[in-house]
Structure 1
Amino acid sequence: MSFAGVSVVADGKLLGADTSHTTPSASGYHLAHVVFSFVDETDKQEPARIDGSKILELRGKDRRHAFKYIKKAALAKHVKNDSFTIRCDVVVLNPQCDTVLITVPPSDMQQNFTEFLHAGDGTDVIFRVGDETFAAHRCVLAARSAVFRAALFGPMKEGTSMAAVMEIHDMDATVFKAMLGFIYSDSFPELAEDGKEGTLLQHLLVAAERYNLPRLRVMCEKKLCEHIDLNTATTILGLAEQHGCDGLKKACCKFVRCPENLRVVVATDGFDDLCRSCPTIMKDMILGVLPAK
């Protein structure tokens, strides 16, 4: 077995063998990849650019599972004069530092924005919803919602002075507060747990669509699937149909198609209203309970 040559990589460039003695070195424990290759006709190649066919590879810490062996028949073509040449490439990774010792903390941007809202520093717009008022930041609202962007910075902007007051109609203050909390935190807001959560979720879904907040809209849709029961099935189903919530609609239809549930739901006033407003849904449900052909 003979020595094949040297390949040196510095600053991402392949250097010749004659420059290897100028390459800086570093001692210590480093991560490395080792690759062994056959080298044929080395006398016709430059030492720094030797070509070969890979026969085995050593990577990682567990060497027992790192080798790929070549069959004896394939070895024969590399043997010349009862000998063969092997090239060994060692690539040292990050020799100057050990990144394993550095832990990047999770992002706290959401918490920072939420605290910014609660502190009230720098607020430049006020919303009046019913008897309550909410201070907020135009730039944050505009960045999160195209509807708020148009209202606050577009040609039809509703207020130009600092701390302008915007009236929000047809929305409960609790729902607006929850939507505002989502805009700043990007996480689902806490809602009342006194039996009104399902109703608030329905209103919050409508608000999310009104202000073009698709992530909040899907969150509400998913949460509402947990509130489908005999009393709410028709209401939620009508809401899903009206706002194009396909996933929520399928969940409601699945619940209603159950014969035991259907008997109870049919007797409710909500079912009669649903039949009048959404006849297509009724057709789908009837087809769903019929036996398959």
Structure 2
Amino acid sequence: MGRGDLSDREWARLEPHVPRNAGRGGRWVCHRKVINGILFRQRTGVPWRDLPTRFGKWKTCHGRHRRWSADGTWERILRAVQADADREGRIDWSMVSVDSTSCRAHQHAAGAQRRPARITGRRMRPAHHRPDEAMGRSRGGLTTKIHLASDGGCRPLAVLLTPGQGGDAPQMIPVLDRIRVPRPAGGRPRTRPDHVCGDKAYSSRRNRRYLRRRQIRHTPPERRDRRANRLRRGSRGGRPAGFERARYSRRNEAERTINALKGSRAVATRYDKRAFVFHGTVTLAAIRLWLR
């Protein structure tokens, strides 16, 4: 086992959830060796062609990562690993933090054609296809923004990609709607945390109405301009938003989750042209955090 490869304990948790056959009578090359190759590229950020030969052909690693990103396999594996953690009581639902981070896009990530990807010789629309390829231009150049919701153990529950110039508040509801942890015993997946924490960027009336409708307690502080507007309106401005400083101190859990994800160079800098492939890269980094 090389540095950064899946340990025996991590592989024992992951193996039951990987696909069993390749379809059309084909046979997969050893999943563990190929996934270790994908993890090596994710950790170091090297081009696919520069993968060490101990992982086999680079085309095999690249093709499997692209295929599993397109058909949602990485997403299904993430939910299955989360379900195992929930069954073992390792998910802290008492506090879910929401935050975002910007990732600089490499020059090789620009210029993707706006058309469905060609997978296994036929056209199909990937599960996370975006017309804008989640690529935006901000002061730092071409950037992609990663929005995530993390549990109290600093592990991602849901991930969403948007162009880098977009705001945070409009993406809070879509990120929380992506939380779906299956229940092994059957029934509906768990989607509602006990408490949601976020910074001032998520303090909007729309977000607060959404959280109150779902009966989720929340602790985003009220922005200064909104407080001044409420006081200026007097009794028509409504009551001040609730705020618990002790709970708000746990907001750093989302920032620590982001730091853990950006420990992978292929996440800190976007090298993938297509948004669905980069989403698969971020999802695989999240899977690795849940396996540890």
Q: Which interval holds the TM-score relative to the shorter structure?
A: under 0.3
The TM-score with structure 2 as length reference comes to 0.28
Larger radius of gyration: 1
